[in-house]
Amino acid sequence: MSLREIEGELVRFRDERDWKRYHTPKNLAISIAVELGELLEHFQWRENEEILASMNDPAERENVEDELADVLIYLVLLAHELGIDLEKAALKKIAKNARKYPVGGRE
């Protein structure tokens, strides 16, 4: 499924609930920060190895999946509100990065 189809789902979800009025750029940007905070809570006092191991715990895994999803959801909604094609923006940025950091070049 493409990012554009996920965007379509989210916009339909929002319109069915008449929530567009809440979806200002600032509110959506703040929402990304809120969800990122919730994601980071799972990493807060754990070492990297513990974080990776915690993914074997089904409940913890599902919680982290939900937080990652929430960050993505608000990111897609923010791009939508700004009239930005997130998929195209990502591919363009990857191409830019490839020029900026050529393989075999200095980091």
- Site residues for a second copy per CB under 8 A: 1-3, 6, 9-10, 13, 16-17, 22, 24-27, 29-41, 43-45, 48, 51-52, 55, 61, 64-66, 68-73, 75, 78-79, 81-84, 86-87, 89-94, 96-98, 101, 103, 107
CB–CB of 67/39 below 8 Å?
Answer: yes
What minimum distance in Å lies between the beta carbon of 17 and a second copy?
Answer: 6
CB–CB of 24/81 below 8 Å?
Answer: yes
What minimum distance in Å lies between the beta carbon of 25 and a second copy?
Answer: 4
Please give the single-letter amino acid code of residue 25.
P
What minimum distance in Å lies between the beta carbon of 10 and a second copy?
Answer: 7
Q: Which residue's CB is nearer to a second copy, number 59 or number 73?
A: 73
Angstrom CA distances, 47 to 6, 44, 67, 78, 91, stand at: 33, 9, 19, 32, 32
Q: Which residue's CB is nearer to a second copy, number 59 or number 78?
A: 78
Listed as own residue / partner, the contacts of 18-23 with beta carbons closer than 8 Å and 24 or more positions apart are 23/77, 23/81
What minimum distance in Å lies between the beta carbon of 59 and a second copy?
Answer: 14
